[in-house]
Structure 1
Amino acid sequence: MRYNSLGNTGLQVSHLAFGGAALGTHYGSYSEEEAIAAVRQALKQGVNYIDTAPFYGQGRSEELLGKALQGVPRQAYYIGTKVARYVFEVSKMFDFSAEKTKWSIDHSLKLLGLDYVDIIQVHDIEFAPSLDVVLNETLPVLEKAVQDGKARFIGVTGYPVSELKKAVENSKIPISTILSYSRDTLIDSTLQEYIPFFQSKGVGVIGAAGVAMGLLTNGGPSSWHLASNEVKELCAAAANYCKERNVELGRLAMYHTLSQHGPAMHLVGMNNQEIVQSNLDILQNGINDLEKQTLQEVKTRFFSKVSQCHWEGREKHEYLQNLEALQK
């Protein structure tokens, strides 16, 4: 297993990390027993960082991890959770207030069955009424949690990497980590552009969703995926090309992402042992010759003619539209 320093935190984290979003409900149903086995299998094989959030299944991810981690020595893993994003209901989805943040930290610790988390993060800061709210209301509560021993470090997460940069630049409270998703993939390398800045500040960089939330898989994304139809069609064409060769596009995408330099670790959503083993195999053994050839062909045939296939701003736009409709 490859380990990297997470910025100036002093944490040595596994390059492959366990993403708890797949323990929610966004990616379909799964066996709780199998998911618990997957968590323990990953830990036994050297994965030492786990990411979760209240939003993932509205507490289900944290609760299941609490069960999976029972009896596991606390020094065997690092874990991070989040505040500010909670439920699917638009009117109650986000709450960056100090009062809700304080409650959320204690509630997460209760579900996880822990005295502290290693990283407490503000979830999707681009949805805050303003960055000032994050800086002046949310982060001070996280700082107090660190002082009280409920967390060790503070992080911010979001899809637009530029917003994470602004938070680091403007926060008077030390931000130790940033987390962005689907921005270090076969179709979008935006995160790489910002890594020198974060490294210069001693901020640990966490990447997530190397398969772009299902977009870069043979099975394709869920119906809620926010990519444009043009991007979805492009990725579907690449997936069909892979299917013709009996190759899984998701493996190619993960090989590409795990091979990138810069992020200390990459979170991968996993809820069964087969997915855990596949990702460990990619990290430790790479991909075979047919897969390497197919990866190069996919890059050339489908992705070389496009620059950045992202959907930045679309989710926030839809959220604000829905919120406005509710208020009428």
Structure 2
Amino acid sequence: MIPLSRLGFGGAPIGNLYAEVSDSDAVGALEAAWDAGVRYFDTAPHYGLGLSERRIGSFLASRPRDSFVVSTKVGRVLEPCSSGGDDLANGFAVPARARRRWDFSADGVRRSLESSLDRLGLDRVDVAYVHDPDSHFEQAVSEAIPALVSLRAEGLVGAVGIGMNQWEMPARFVRETDVDVVLLAGRYTVLEQTGASLLELCASRGVSVVAAGVFNSGLLARPEVGSTYDYQAAPAALVERARRIASVCTRHGVTLPQAAVQFPFRHPAVASVLVGVRTAAEMRANASALSASVPDALWEDLRAEGLL
């Protein structure tokens, strides 16, 4: 079992997700995470065409290797290109000096990991996730997972995982393959628990769960019209539900973000919660939310009102 800190650092924002993050802000966010006791750092080649991996690797270079856990992902191979322009069409404010190519083959997995290790400046990663194989299940299950299992045996990977924004396909991976950990984004939050059956399955098989997207991409941080849910404009019905949850939280002296960060730990399968941040202030706010006192009566009232 990989030892994960309860709070993990999600590396997409410092890969310039949607907007540029300065080097100083990125380092500040990472320093604030370290100061808050965060020792689990998650990244991927997809995040800023490798920028997130380079920033996290540079930050961790001065820390003892056994003092932190790093996860990265496979499934998108980066290939150099000279088309110019930026990568905003894919969500990242970086120069388009590379293109992504879906590749869940055994060879692609090895090449992707080798490139990630180079950007991270590491000789191994603690967790390697198969990343978003929604349309590539057959190749992912027949080639990518076995390749990672082999890399695990070689010591280049500590644990094999699957990382997705849905729960149905990860459940298939848990049933059919030798995965150690599932990264589940957005499907087990105080707003939505559609992934509950996956967590039950993981608990029964000794598979750890990392809960990501605990703010449902923004709605649980700011429950108002114009907020986002799954990276799109939140439907009015969900905004109203989030507001009702926030109202119950207020009655108990709890903020909605505090409830959002702490809720996933109500399930014993959840080992860590990942939060994506771009500044030190955001990191400190999330760490404070995790340490806040949340009474059991809050969860009981949410259930009583049909909100859980």
TM-score when scaled to structure 2?
0.79
Instruction: Tell me which of 129, 152, 162 is aligned to 1:121.
Output: 129
- Residues in 2 aligned to 1:32 and 1:239: alpha-carbon distance in whole angstroms: 36
Partner of 2:185: 181
Select the residue among 252, 257, 261 that pairs with 1:254: 261
Larger CA deviation: 97-106 vs 176-185: 97-106
Q: How far did 1:240 drift?
A: 9.8
Deviation for aligned residue 1:197: 1.4
Cross-structure match for 1:319: none
Tell whether 2:279 aligns with 1:272: yes
Task: Give the Cα–Cα distance (whole angstroms) in 1 for the partners of residues 76 and 245 of structure 2.
Answer: 32
Give the secondary structure class of the aligned counterpart of 2:49.
coil
- Shift of the 240–119 alpha-carbon distance from structure 1 to 2, 3 Å rule, reads closer
Shift of 1:71: 0.6
- Offset at 1:236? 7.5
Q: Deviations over 1:112-140 (max 9, x none)?
A: 11000001110012231xx2211212122
Change in 2 beyond 3 A, CA 1:118/1:84? same
Q: Does 1:41 align with 2:49?
A: no
Aligned mate of 2:116, from 100, 108, 112: 108
**Change beyond 3 A, Cα 1:160–1:304:** farther
Map Cα deviations across residues 296-322 of structure 1 (whole Å, 9 max, x no partner): 99x59xx95678xxxxxxxxxxxxxxx
Distance of aligned partners of 1:184 and 1:79 in 2 relative to their CA distance in 1, 3 Å threshold: same
Unaligned runs of 5+ in 2: 79-86, 91-98
* 1:125 aligned counterpart, secondary structure: coil
1 or 2, which has the higher strand percentage? 2
**Structure 1 residue corresponding to 2:105, chosen from 74, 94, 97:** 97
Cα offsets for 1:93-150 (capped at 9, x unmatched): 522222322211011001111000001110012231xx22112121222123223321
1:138-167 CA distances to partner (integer Å, 9 max, x unpaired)? 122212322332111111111221211111
Q: Is the 8 A contact 2:7 2:275 kept in 1?
A: yes
The alpha-carbon deviation at position 187 of structure 1 amounts to: 1.6
Question: Mapping of 1:102-181 within 5 angstroms?
Answer: 102-128=110-136, 131-171=137-177, 174-181=178-185
In structure 2, do the counterparts of structure 1 residues 65 and 231 end up closer, same or farther at CA, with 3 Å as the change threshold?
Answer: farther
**Change beyond 3 A, Cα 1:15–1:27:** farther
Between the aligned partners of 2:114 and 2:102, the Cα distance in structure 1 is: 17
The verdict on how the C-alpha distance between 1:265 and 1:192 changes in structure 2, with shifts beyond 3 A counting, is same
Q: Determine the structure 1 residue equivalent to 2:15.
A: 24
SS at match of 1:115: coil
**Counterpart residue type for residue 284 of structure 1:** S
Amino acid at match of 1:184: Y
> 1:229 is aligned with what amino acid?
P
Comparing 194-203 and 48-57, the one that deviates more: 194-203
- Provide the rounded CA distance (Å) in 2 between the counterparts of 1:13 and 1:224: 25
The one-letter amino acid of 2:163's match is T
Q: 2:44 aligns with which of 53, 61, 84?
A: 53
Shift of 1:188: 0.7
Cα deviation for residue 230 of structure 1 reads: 3.9
**Which residue is 1:197 aligned to?**
201
Helix, strand or coil: the match of 1:283? helix
Q: Report % sequence identity.
A: 28
The 1:231/1:134 distance shift into structure 2, 3 A limit, reads farther
CA contact under 8 A between 2:189 and 2:260: conserved in structure 1? yes
Question: Considering only aligned residues, what root-mean-square deviation do their CA atoms show, in Å?
Answer: 3.3
Q: How far 1:18 sits from its partner (Å)? A: 1.1
**Residues 207-245 of structure 1 deviation map (CA, whole Å, 9 limit, x = unaligned):** 111101112222754598246634554368669979x99
Q: Is the 8 A contact 1:53 1:83 kept in 2?
A: yes
Distance change in 2, residues 1:239/1:169 (3 Å): closer
Supply the distance in 2 between the matched residues of 1:24 and 1:304 (Cα, whole angstroms). 39
In structure 2, distance between residues paired with 1:239 and 1:306: 7
Distance 1:143 1:216, change over 3 A: same
Decide whether aligned partners of structure 1 residues 157 and 273 sit closer, same or farther in structure 2, where only a CA change above 3 A counts.
same
Q: What are the Cα deviations for residues 240-273 of structure 1, in whole angstroms up to 9, with x where unaligned?
A: 979x99x964344224345554311111112221
Partners of 1:124 and 1:203 in 2: CA distance = 18
C-alpha separation between the residues in 1 aligned to 2:230 and 2:207?
32
Structure 2 CA distance for partners of 1:236 and 1:262, relative to 1, 3 Å: closer
Change (3 A) 1:224 1:183: closer
Structure 1 unaligned residues grouped into runs of 5+:
1-8, 308-328
Distance 1:203 1:276 in 2: 27
Asked if structure 1 preserves the Cα contact closer than 8 Å seen for 2:207 and 2:269, the reply is no
Residues 223 and 156 of structure 1, relative CA distance in 2, 3 Å threshold: closer
Partner of 1:216: 220
Distance 1:230 1:262 in 2: 31
The equivalent of 2:82 in structure 1 is: none
